[in-house]
């Protein structure tokens, strides 16, 4: 069931997801450009391929969700190393936490993964439940407005060591609506 965007002027991006080579559907995400414009723009450009390195588009297309923890979150966006260690941004390096106005109050919220204050890059996670202990530590910058079932399919993929999915969970296609 689709949820209306909270601000009609905010960009909406999408991920087409495959699990183990099977297409499972599309997630549409509203980016909170009205609240965290810098964070939203970084993510948007990695969805559209607008950001280029040496003339080549870089971003989320073909990257994976490398960490899945049921009842907590699904994490992806490391198109650098694919394992949670990569950092890249349209700002040429890690960037500061923009603000913590939005809280981790419900499932389906898009938030920046980081390794401490001011270390935002390309990695993100989507909450699978309320995660209020993350408030003030991770920047919430969007919400799934359609495709929560796809998120639940990812959440339920069997995992091995380090919560790595046993089947590849791939962003087969992505862009802006």
- Which sequence positions are flagged as catalytic? 67, 72, 75, 114, 125, 134, 138
Q: What are phi and psi of 148, to 5 degrees?
A: -60, -30
Three-state SS at 147: coil
Residues ≥6 apart with Cβ < 8 Å to 55: none
Cβ–Cβ under 8 Å, residues 129 and 48:
no
16 membership: H or E segment, kind and range: strand 12-19
Cβ–Cβ under 8 Å, residues 83 and 163:
no
Residues ≥6 apart with Cβ < 8 Å to 129: 71, 72, 107
């Amino acid at each position: 069931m689709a949820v209306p965007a909270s601000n009609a002027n905010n960009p909406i991006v999408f991920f087409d997801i495959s699990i183990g080579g099977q297409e499972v559907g599309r997630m549409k995400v509203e980016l909170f450009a009205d609240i965290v414009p810098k964070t939203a723009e970084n993510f948007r450009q990695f969805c559209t391929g607008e950001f280029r390195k040496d003339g080549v588009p870089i971003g989320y297309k073909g990257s994976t969700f490398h960490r899945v923890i049921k009842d907590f979150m699904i994490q992806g966006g490391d198109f650098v190393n694919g394992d949670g260690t990569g950092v890249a941004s349209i700002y040429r390096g890690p960037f500061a936490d923009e603000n913590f106005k939005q809280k981790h109050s419900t499932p389906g919220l898009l938030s920046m993964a980081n390794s401490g204050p001011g270390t935002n890059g390309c990695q993100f996670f989507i909450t699978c439940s309320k995660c209020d202990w993350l408030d003030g530590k991770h920047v919430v910058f969007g919400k799934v407005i359609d495709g929560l079932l796809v998120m639940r399919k990812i959440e339920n993929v069997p995992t091995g060591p380090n919560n790595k999915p046993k089947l590849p969970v791939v962003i087969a296609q992505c862009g802006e609506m």
